[in-house]
Every structure is written in C-alpha cells, then in structure tokens.
Structure 1
Amino acid sequence: MTIPIQQLTNQVNDDAGPKYQPPWDFLPTDTNTGVGGKYIYIGYILGNSNPVTSINFVAYDGAQSNPPSGWQWTGQDLKQGAGGKYIYMIWKNGESSKKPITALQLLVTNQSTPPAIAGYDSINQDLNQGAGGPYIWPYYSTTISMQKKEEVILAKV
C-alpha cells in the first residue's frame, strides 16, 4: 500500500541539513544547491487523510505575500539568499478528481530540460532559475512510495 503525502513544509538552515524534526521527513536536496544562500529543504508527512493531490513550483520577479488563489503554501522563498527568481512551492489537498501524490524528488543536473524518470512526472520549473548553478528539476509520483530513510542513532559507550 502506497501512503500519500498529507502535509508539506520547508526547513531553512544556516548550515547543511536537513535537521531531524519529527514528525517531518525531508528530501535530502537543498533547493539552493550550487548557488549559495540558505539551506532549504522540502519536508513532508505521509498519511491517508486529505492527501496532497496537486503540487507546483512558481517563480516570480519579486517576493509574494499570498499564494495563488485556491492553493496552499508555506510562504518560503526557495531561493532565499541566493538571488534569482523568488520561487515558491504550492499545493492542493483532497481534489476528488485527482490521484494522491505519493512521492517527491529533486534532480540536480546540467540538463536544461527535465529528463524522464520512470514512474515520475516532471514539473517544468527550474528551482535555480535566475540564480545560476545547476538545474534543479522537481518531480512527483502518484504510484511510487517515498523511500523511507533509515534513521541511524549511535549510542555513546
């Protein structure tokens, strides 16, 4: 059984992370990879109630104070401190006509268009638009499960 993504967030750090922040899990890719600025990660919680059914990333020339009508967001500029466009993650939950989103990933590449990844749909928005550096292409899936990270805790002896 593939459990959908239920909630999304961002984590902003001054140094590399992401930091452990239960109950959230985070994608390991910094949305400012290769361009400086803050270390920014996309976080998620899996669950079956009111799943995320649409996700997009939108770029603006200036800071925004509200998401596009009908969408949710964290209000976090994914390019904070790096220059370039102001890029925001937006999403919708519980659309009855759409399949729940079950996985997200970010691909850092030198390719100017998102390459195909089996089982994933690309979102045609470079997360480094206007900031230089590599391309960062976001992807989502409605069939693949998020890869559960194994938390390693080392005991001091």
Structure 2
Amino acid sequence: MKLIKESALMMNEDTKAEISTLLRAHIDESPYTLNEIAILCGFHGPEMLEGILSGELRVPLDKAMPLAKAIGCDGQTLFALVLKSWFGVELVNTIEEVFTNDAASAVERGWIAFLRDFYGDRIPELTPTLRRRLRLLVSLPG
C-alpha cells in the first residue's frame, strides 16, 4: 500500500512539473506581467501563480480555463493536466476514453495524440501548403 501511495505521489509531482513547464513557456511569451495574469484569472495577487510555477501548489479546477485563456495556452491540454494533478492519471485517462468522440477511429485518435505530443499545444493550422507537404511526404518511397 505504501508503494502505491509513493507511486501516485511521484506521478502527481511529474504532472505538477509538466503543468509548470507548460505555464512558464506561455507566461514567458505573454505580454502580461505575472500580477496581471493573476488578476485576469481571478487571483488576488501573483502568490498563487508563483506557487503553481514552483510546483508547490496545484491549479484550482475553476482557474484552469481562465488561466489558459489569459496566457494563450490550449485549454484542453491544461485542463487535462490539472485534472491529472488532482485525481491521478488513471482516472483522467479513463474519463477521456469514455467521453472521447466515437466518430474518430482508434487510428485517427492515434494521429491526433501524435500531433499533440509532437507540437504540444501549438498545432499549426492545416493550410494548403501544409497539406501539399504532407502529401509529398506520404508519397515518398520507403
């Protein structure tokens, strides 16, 4: 039982570190100061954000989407990470599996997961130029 708790704690720490990395990348690019971002999210000052960035605190569930909007981060990605930090990876993965749109096949969901892993939360728009490049890449032998 102790091993299970330690494993869950370690995964929680990994998730908090992932959240911190994601947020820091967007905050560094944001035109807003940390205090301004805090105000946009409904915090009274930057202390909560500082705690989240250091990994000491978790993002409150009700602040995940306002935070994503304030810093230009993908809300779905951030919210999934925040849920994992509160409830664990297994539960969130189960919820995603249950509520995933069944219109996409397993292969299509695999492509989507690959794109999210590859690009993070900055997946480029599928422009005509990008479509041509992908067609060329797929047509190459090998």
More helix by share: 2
User: Same fold by TM (over 0.5)?
Assistant: no
TM-score w.r.t. length of structure 1 = 0.23
More strand by share: 1
Q: Decide which structure has the larger Cα Rg and report it.
A: 2
TM-score w.r.t. length of structure 2 = 0.25
